[in-house]
Structure 1
Amino acid sequence: MEKEIIEHVAYIKSSKNRYKVLKSLNKGMKIPSEIASETDIRLNHISALLKDLKEHNFVLCLNEEDSKGRMYVLTDTGKTVLNILQ
C-alpha cells in the first residue's frame, strides 16, 4: 500500500467522527443536517468536520456557492479510504 493512502487511513482513524461522516456519505450525497441526524453528531461539529474533510480531499461540496442546502459527496480518495477501513 502506498504511503499517501496509509497517511489518509491514519488521519481518518484518528477521529471516530471523521469515520462516521465518511460512512454516512458512502450512502449517497447529503446535506449537513442529514449527516448530523444519522451520526448523532451536533450540526456545528458536522460543519467543522466537513470543512476539514474537504480541505484534505475526502469530500466534495457540489454547490459551494449556496449558503443553505450544501450537498456533500465522497471523493475517490474518500471512497478508497473508507473501503480500506470497512
Structure 2
Amino acid sequence: MPWDEISYTVASKTRKSVVLKLTVPRTPTFLANNLKINLANISRALTELEEKGIVECLTPDQRVGKIYSLTKKGNEVISTIKTMEET
C-alpha cells in the first residue's frame, strides 16, 4: 500500500480533490471549474501528483486541453482514501 503517496495526497485539499475527481480522465480546466479552484492551483497539484506517479497526462504533446488520468498507483491511493473516510 502506498502510504507515503496517500499521506502526500491528503495533506493538500486541492491534491485530494483532484484525485477524487479523476475517476474519469479530465482536463485541468474542467477540474478548476468543477472544483471552483484556481486553474494555476489545479495545474500545480497535477504536476505534483504526476511527479509522485499518482496521475499521468494522457496527451503530453498537447499544449492546450491536456487530459489527465489516475495511474494504477493513483487508483490504489483513491481506493484507500475512500476506505479511510468511510470508517
Shorter-chain TM-score above 0.5: yes
**Which of 48, 60, 73 in structure 2 is aligned with 1:52?**
48
Q: Which amino acid aligns with 1:39?
A: L
Q: Which of structure 1's runs of 4+ aligned residues deviate more than 3 A?
A: none
Distance 2:9 2:65 in 1: 25
> Paired residue for 2:22?
25
> Paired residue for 1:15?
12
Give RMSD over aligned pairs: 0.9
> Paired residue for 2:85?
none
Q: Which amino acid aligns with 2:50?
A: K
Distance 1:43 1:8 in 2: 23
**Which of 61, 68, 75 in structure 1 is aligned with 2:64?**
68
> Paired residue for 1:36?
32
Identity of aligned residues (%): 29
Gap regions ≥5 residues in structure 1: none
How many residue pairs end up in the alignment?
82
Gap regions ≥5 residues in structure 2: 83-87
Q: Which amino acid aligns with 1:9?
A: I
- TM-score, normalised to structure 2, is 0.89
* 1:39-58 C-alpha deviation (Å, 9 max, x unpaired): 11100111111111111101
Q: Which amino acid aligns with 1:81?
A: V
SS in 1 for 2:15: helix
